[in-house]
Structure 1
């Protein structure tokens, strides 16, 4: 029998969850029960995880609106079925994935910012001639899985700040972001476990709006409102999050970027068996 969820995030977060996403112990238990019954009925269509840990983020993202949560779950597991390049062969020890992980394209910070998860997306850290964009997005999702599901549960309630460092982005990086890949990326993000609170672009090139317009064409209105472009380099970044949670390379005091990358690489490798098992969950 699966272990019943127990809220362990403290009274302050419990009050915030009640006031902002309609989460109380009674509502949570009722909704978890109803979603499990529904998943059992949909078993022939959805091979979905039925443990509390994996259902709860969808409920939180939907503010415990059952129909919206069901819609998110369906979209998520269909994406896992259809987007095989991102959701199969997710073995973090594979050389081609290790290379991208160690470059630090997608690096969550180790400390939360007002209980929000902050992610550095270093868009030019990889070589688009050598590293496929599909593998880059695969690694991104793998790291986010570990961060949001296992390391920082509060982010399911408070959301995620994504900081896109555009320094060094060239024509080849832009060319790799075809409309098809961009549409898949936006669809995945809008149906993911955690809510995007802001998409902040720093060190932005003058042609950034060309790229952003492609992304925005696939975004819903709610997500479009989270996009913010900053033009003052690191000074802009320091206005988004505090320096004491940033690595030294970004003007912060929380260690070296390499240490942060190694921190997440170790987390991924420790979850290798989980990733291999996780591939079987998808829409039929």
Structure 2
């Protein structure tokens, strides 16, 4: 495993040799200049004094890796991330896992143990475990944000990315009623250009006819590249094995990993043990200058073009 001389922050590279090789080839990461690039991003942040952004080396590296070590693009992603959080108090004002304990304990979601054949972390969701009369779409979205914030701390996840799997069995009009354009816009924005994570694939299982109407609302807010990474499997869950190996999947879906209920319990325990950590992440948005909705809408088209330019190095 490659080691670096630790700066005052105490950063030491924890990438596996495989991940380090991939980071060099796909993300333009050079161990000899890595910390210099971090410092360049830190200096870029200082040019925007109205922003109050944590500039820990570990955090800044997430954004650099997500934008192929292009400092300006990494800064824009970081800025977009903080603006998104400031404008989403219904999700981010309380990031404590205990705030969504009911959803977690119901077995709605888990980051599955281990990784798949491509080194990706596998995120699993079961819509049928979401009681829409008890939890809002924003609380469901908060579960994803909490999990994403936790797994992105892993350097291997920053490099290899994630695969998302959602079993849509049980999707009902009560669920659909909560997913309007406002929620759809937030989902599209955070998955496309406002979070430093590489979403490599999205797999949807057991989707009912109702799904088409819901996806029609969400689709316009997603980039074409992200839309192309969505795979619809219907009831044929065995086709999932063409993309994710058996070792990474639970037996209910043709895999040899731990049962999904067990994986959900383990992940719930992991998140609830981080209550203090996520309490510090709860976010009022007061640290940022207010952003008017009209300004954001005017900038979206330009920003989206910039993100696509930053992603020209196509991920394998």
Instruction: For 1:198 and 1:32, locate their aligned partners in 2 and report how far apart those are by CA, in whole Å.
Output: 28
Match of 1:167 in 2: 169
Aligned match for 1:85, one of 73, 83, 90: 90
| 3-state SS of paired residue (2:95) | coil
Match of 1:231 in 2: 234
Instruction: For 2:125 and 2:265, locate their aligned partners in 1 and report how far apart those are by CA, in whole Å.
Output: 16
Q: Deviations over 1:25-52 (max 9, x none)?
A: 133222100111122332x422212111
| 3-state SS of paired residue (1:13) | helix
Q: 2:122–2:162: 8 Å Cα contact kept in structure 1?
A: yes
Match of 1:32 in 2: 38
Q: 2:107–2:264: 8 Å Cα contact kept in structure 1?
A: yes
Match of 2:149 in 1: 145
| 3-state SS of paired residue (2:32) | helix
Q: Which structure 1 residue ranges, 5 or more long, are not aligned?
A: none
Instruction: For 1:279 and 1:207, locate their aligned partners in 2 and report how far apart those are by CA, in whole Å.
Output: 34
Aligned match for 1:118, one of 119, 122, 146: 122
Q: 2:191–2:222: 8 Å Cα contact kept in structure 1?
A: no
| 3-state SS of paired residue (1:180) | helix
Relative distance call for 1:186 and 1:91 in structure 2 (3 A) is same
Aligned pairs (5 A) from 1:16-31 = 16-31=22-37
Match of 2:104 in 1: 101
Give the superposition deviation at 1:232.
4.1
Give the superposition deviation at 1:208.
2.5
Q: 2:27–2:68: 8 Å Cα contact kept in structure 1?
A: yes
Give the superposition deviation at 1:2.
5.1
CA RMSD of aligned residues (A): 1.8
Instruction: For 1:65 and 1:251, locate their aligned partners in 2 and report how far apart those are by CA, in whole Å.
Output: 40
Instruction: For 2:272 and 2:160, locate their aligned partners in 1 and report how far apart those are by CA, in whole Å.
Output: 27
Moved more, 54-63 or 224-233: 224-233
Aligned match for 1:132, one of 133, 136, 161: 136
Relative distance call for 1:201 and 1:64 in structure 2 (3 A) is same
Aligned match for 2:254, one of 251, 254, 266: 251
Match of 1:7 in 2: 13
Q: Deviations over 1:110-140 (max 9, x none)?
A: 1111211111121231111221111111111
| 3-state SS of paired residue (1:50) | coil
| 3-state SS of paired residue (1:46) | coil
What is the TM-score with the length of structure 1 in the denominator? 0.91
Q: 2:45–2:75: 8 Å Cα contact kept in structure 1?
A: no
Instruction: For 1:222 and 1:129, locate their aligned partners in 2 and report how far apart those are by CA, in whole Å.
Output: 34
Q: Deviations over 1:171-214 (max 9, x none)?
A: 11122111110111111122112111111111122342322222
Q: Which structure 2 residue ranges, 5 or more long, are not aligned?
A: 1-6, 290-316
What is the TM-score with the length of structure 2 in the denominator? 0.83
